[in-house]
């Protein structure tokens, strides 16, 4: 079964700010898959206030554009596990506070000061809140992928960098031509 994790962009001011901050042409991470029953393309993401799923046509209608995407082959059992995790997180609130936490964590990492990195935890918006890259990091963790920071503070560029690295060494991950 196939699953896709990709990077996208939109034309919102907040999206532009994220692109400038991470110095990439994308600002958002999503997961895409084909519903095994309806055969419809579904986007799963955390944005616009919550974790949600929608048909890809509606997602495009919101002004989203795919910049980069990776195809992941997985067993039916793993695919079901991923869909269960996605469904478990539906309607989890999107955490604007967590974005501030990412910035603080980045500052602490840049200055190599653990105290500042620990301050970022003050900006977690509850255990159940989420941001887009955190949702994709949860999915990748089901494949045994590790990140060098808490998943709450993983940025979109961290996801794409990890996928790019894995696509060079793992047969189950391939970059999709856009």
Q: Where are the domains of the chain?
A: 2-176
Q: What percent of the chain has pLDDT over 90?
A: 72
Position 127 scores a pLDDT of 64
Q: What is the pLDDT of residues 71-82, one digit of tens each?
A: 999 999 999 999
Mean pLDDT throughout 48-69? 94
* C-alpha neighbours within 13 Å on the C-beta side of residue 133: 27
Q: What is the CATH number of domain 2-176?
A: 3.90.1720.10
Report yes or no: 3 and 70 within 8 Å, Cβ to Cβ: no
Nearest 5°: phi and psi at 126?
90, 160
The CA distance from 143 to 36, in Å, is: 20
d(CA 5, CA 160): 9
Per-residue pLDDT averaged across 87-111, rounded?
Answer: 88
User: Looking up tokens 């996928």, which residue turns up?
Assistant: 163
For residue 123, give both structure tokens: 């900006």
pLDDT (tens digit per residue) in 8-18: 999 999 999 99
- CA separation (Å) from 113 to 29, 40, 162? 28, 47, 24
Band of the pLDDT at 89, cuts 50, 70, 90?
confident
| Average pLDDT, rounded, for the chain | 92
Instruction: pLDDT band for 126, please (50, 70, 90 cuts).
Output: low
Reading the block at residue 97, the tokens are 């506070």
**pLDDT band at residue 167, thresholds of 50, 70 and 90?**
very high
Between CA 33 and CA 86 the distance in angstroms is: 11
11-25, 66-80, 96-110: lowest mean pLDDT where?
Answer: 96-110
How far is the CA of 34 from the CAs of 60, 81, 89, in angstroms? 16, 15, 18
**Local confidence band at 97 (pLDDT 50, 70, 90 cut-offs):** confident
Instruction: Tell me which H or E stretch contains 141.
Output: helix 132-141
Would the pLDDT of 148 be above 80? yes
């Amino acid at each position: 079964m196939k699953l896709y994790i990709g990077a996208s962009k939109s034309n919102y001011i907040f999206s532009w700010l994220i692109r400038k901050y991470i110095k990439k042409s994308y600002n958002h991470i999503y997961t895409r898959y084909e519903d095994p029953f309806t055969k419809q393309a579904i986007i799963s993401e955390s944005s616009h206030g919550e974790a949600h799923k929608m048909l890809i046509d509606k997602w495009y209608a919101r002004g989203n554009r795919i910049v980069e995407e990776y195809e992941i082959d997985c067993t039916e059992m793993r695919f079901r596990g991923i869909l269960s995790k996605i469904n478990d997180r539906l309607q989890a609130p999107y955490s604007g506070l967590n974005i501030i936490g990412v910035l603080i964590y980045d500052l602490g990492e840049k200055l190599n000061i653990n105290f500042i990195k620990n301050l970022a935890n003050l900006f977690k918006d509850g255990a159940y809140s989420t941001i887009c890259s955190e949702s994709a990091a949860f999915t990748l963790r089901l494949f045994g992928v590790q990140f060098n920071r808490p998943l709450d503070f993983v940025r979109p560029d961290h996801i794409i960098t990890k996928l790019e690295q894995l696509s060079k060494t793992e047969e189950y991950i391939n970059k999709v031509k856009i």
